[in-house]
Amino acid sequence: MDDASMDSSMVGLLGRVTGTIGPGLVGEVIVRIRGGAEHFLAHPASSKERIDVGTVVMVMEHLPPRTVYVTAAYDS
């Protein structure tokens, strides 16, 4: 699988926040991918969104190798 296919395959995946994400914060998420679970540095897809630990998120964009932009998957 080439890098472009791998990058686009992350968009739409669900993960869980393990380090708070928000304006001015680089958080962390764990995402199930490639037969396991991997940690990624995370930024909010919306610059004003704050996402707390434990929140289920959806990957909106992936910047290789280990950075994602996410949004809350469900309304709270």
What pLDDT, on the 0 to 100 scale, is given for residue 8? 56
pTM of the model: 0.86
Q: Which pLDDT tens digit goes with each residue over 15-53?
A: 999 999 999 899 999 999 989 999 999 999 998 999 999
Rounded to an integer, the average pLDDT of 43-65 is: 95
Q: In three state form, how does the secondary structure of 8-60 look?
A: HHHCCCEEEEEECEECCECEEEEEEECCEEEEEEEEECCCCCCECCCCEEEEE
Confidence of residue 75 (pLDDT cuts 50, 70, 90): confident
